[in-house]
Structure 1
Amino acid sequence: MEQTAASRIKDHEPTPSPSSPPPSVSHPLLNPALRRAWRDLTTIQCGITPAHAVTIGPVDPTTASLMNLFDGTRGIPLLQEESRRLGLPEAHLPRLIARLSAAGLLDDATGGGPRTDALRKDPAALQRLRPDLMSLSLTDRSPGGGIRRIAARRTMSVQVRGAGRVGALIAATLSAAGIGSIDVMDGGQVEPWDVSPGGLPAEAIGERRDVAARRLVRRCTPGGPRAGPSPGEWPTSRHPPSSHPPGFALVVLAPRDGLTAHAPDPAAAAEFMASGTPHLYAGVLEATGMVGPLVLPGETACAGCLDLGRADQDRTWSRMLAQWRSGRRSPAQACDLGLATAVAGTAAAHALAALDGGRPSSTGLRWEMPLPDTDWRARQVAPHPDCTCGAARTEEREDTSASGPPHERMAE
């Protein structure tokens, strides 16, 4: 793994101007999320885990001393003075900065733009979000990338439908992770079995679920509630903000009745499909945790695709589903607390990955964990050709486009 990381630097090393560093880095900061260690006398490894570790070399002691000054407190002019004092050539600093930037090891302590400047002026929120910021600096290695994503989260609005053991904790987690506005929908009153660590507290028993959940969300907001989030922001070109209903970049469906997550009603998702709103399913049914699918309307499989696919595999499915939906059910579900917490955490992680501009593995796929096993199992949810969502036609067009004309395939 280290050899691969080392070659990554070599393969991506740019040829910077000999007189000035990249303009995007004004106050260089070696990524503090990655712990450094000397592998030998000339090689430094940044990071411990194979997924993020990068090895750089050769590094001489003088260059290492200069790198130790990349703590975000010094601008380029001061660093250049320090470089001269160490006896290094004039072009050494810009080359080093360009090399570390290309390797994804360099952050910018002042970069990111107006939104990040506003976040830096809210020290209480920034300190609460420090671990999230460090994590994002590993998934977005561009200088200032982590704090830009944190700042973008603060402009987004998400709706969570369901405020039981799973839904309330998802809402609280998204709020604590910096999402600017969380709306929670649910009916009825908080029951004793709704209470969970990190979710609805025991003192909320007897209150309206939505009221208690929204108070939980406000309590978890870093730096206190913020007014005026930009409605429907989705930071990917494939999903422009204008394609979503006012206020929500994502809807998370985490019903207390796990059947609704396991077999979602296509009619209930019609408003999301019509408006192009991304939505994610999560829940627990009969001691089986579920996360996904994340539906990108018109692109990936939806609730209708899931329903039609099951009917194809089992001709009695529709008959049984109608009985399960209309039959008498216990108010409390078989929802182990540890499993509910795992589902909520996983769903929140997938939601954040999507909101940060990624495409998590739950896109067009459902993850399931049936107890007593503790392994997540993947179940593919394929677009159905008879579903009106059009995802099957989109997938077919993408496959055809990727394959290329016949003569191009032969040439390969």
Structure 2
Amino acid sequence: MIFDPATSRLIIHGLGVEGRAALDWFLTQQAQHITVIDRADKFSALPESLQQNTAVTHVTEPEWVSENHDTPRPELYLRSPGIAPDNPVFEKIRHLRIPHTTPTGYWLAKYAPQNTITITGTKGKSSTASLTAHLLRWAGRRAEEMGNIGRTPFEAVISTDTICVLELSSYMMHDLPPLSAFHVVTNIYKEHTDWHGSHSAYRHDKLRPFAQNPPARGIVATDLRQEVPANSAITTFDDHTRIDGNRITFGTVHELTPVDLHPAFAAPSMLLALRASIATCLASGLLTPDQVSAALQKNLSGWPGLPSRQFILPTTDGLIWVDDALATVPEATLSALTRWQGQTIHLLLGGADRGQQFDALIAHCRARANIQLYAFSETASALQAAAESGAAPTLISHHDSLESMIESARHKAREGDIILFSPAAPSARPHANYLERSRIFQSFAPQG
């Protein structure tokens, strides 16, 4: 992607985390001219020095769409990852054939150092990215998490020997330029079909680096191998690691039972994430089996975990509050349930309806007598339909809001019970994202 910040005209669409970081970075590069597209209130929230910078011009979406952009013509368009393909600005950008990607996509194409790793998937990508970066550091390598899981690459301090581990969402991958990173795909379930337009388009975006010419190197879940071009230089997790019960084996002699070192790995999803991180380090050639084994045996017990991913809150009321707000598909919620078998669970569900199938989740809950179900928002009706199917209907408590659902569960729970917020669906109005839902859930938990 040819673009010289000092002599070219740039558009940054959206002042979210990535857009804001990119704006600051391009200004340090003496950018000639940056057009910022967002609402007026978003631009006015910027520091006054930025608002008055002569290199920066602000317009709203309707204003930009209505303008004639033949001369001077923008030379690069960077969109916030959430800007969807049907956005009027993005549609006009494509019509004008202006090069486009996200800020992270631009950085990956232009500045990513050797041994950069990109990690995506419907679920498990954050845990896999965190564990991969930690594993590399535990083995003595310099590694930094970036993307969805941490800072944008524009904010990080990167040296030539830094291994950059980037978690990428499907939104970021929609127009990702060709790159030389080692690409990892943990799994692909049904999600974000409204944004991508179809499930097949969503799958294509996740696997995009393997369709470039030449294909990227990488590793995928075994069931995805048939979807990757035959000439791709990829392997599967099964080629490097094996799971037998709660044990992971790799190399020729190495064996690890992660739950003996850290309780989080009692959850199948966490075991799979650790397996994916081990396979990534081996398949990329960055670590040997001996290095992986030594690093995990010594350090895995100190892994801090990730917020909103089966995260146990430190509470004082005798209940176990578990924030799993990032479980936005039924498969992730089902995995969380298998981590806790013997205790009574108050399971809080609900969010945006993206056509998820809840039959397997409800069947699991029906087979256990210790799970009480609560639902709110758009998916409540789909959950109810799944609950009413079969010979033994499952009772679901319906609520008008997330707050009333949490309050109801707290009122019914008894000492030792688990209140598990694992919604099995993405955020819907009035909640902007998982962070907002997580904050609300945590506000009800009495923490010392």
| Normalised TM-score (structure 2) | 0.26
Larger radius of gyration: 1
| Normalised TM-score (structure 1) | 0.28
